[in-house]
Amino acid sequence: MLREAIRTMKKRQIKTASICLTVLTIKKIRLKTTEISKRQRMQILTAR
């Protein structure tokens, strides 16, 4: 019983960790895209 519980806990921890990692990567990508869009806007404004 204890071993099974520990196994399930480990599996759950791995799942939560992977979810956290994916969320972090998505946030990083969003930040990068926003930075790029800001730069593009500035370039467009300066070009005009």
pLDDT of residue 4: 92
DSSP per position, the chain: -HHHHHHHHHHHHHHHHHHHHHHHHHHHHHHHHHHHHHHHHHHHHHH-
pLDDT of residue 46: 86
In angstroms and rounded to an integer, the radius of gyration of the C-alpha atoms of the chain is 21
Reply yes or no on whether the pLDDT at 48 is more than 80. no
**Tell me, what amino acid is at 10?**
K
pLDDT of residue 29: 92
Domain map (residue ranges) of the chain: 1-48
Distance between CA atoms of residues 1 and 18, nearest Å: 26
Query: pLDDT tens digit string along 6-38?
Result: 899 899 998 998 988 999 999 999 999 998 888
Asked whether the whole model's pTM tops 0.75, one would answer: no
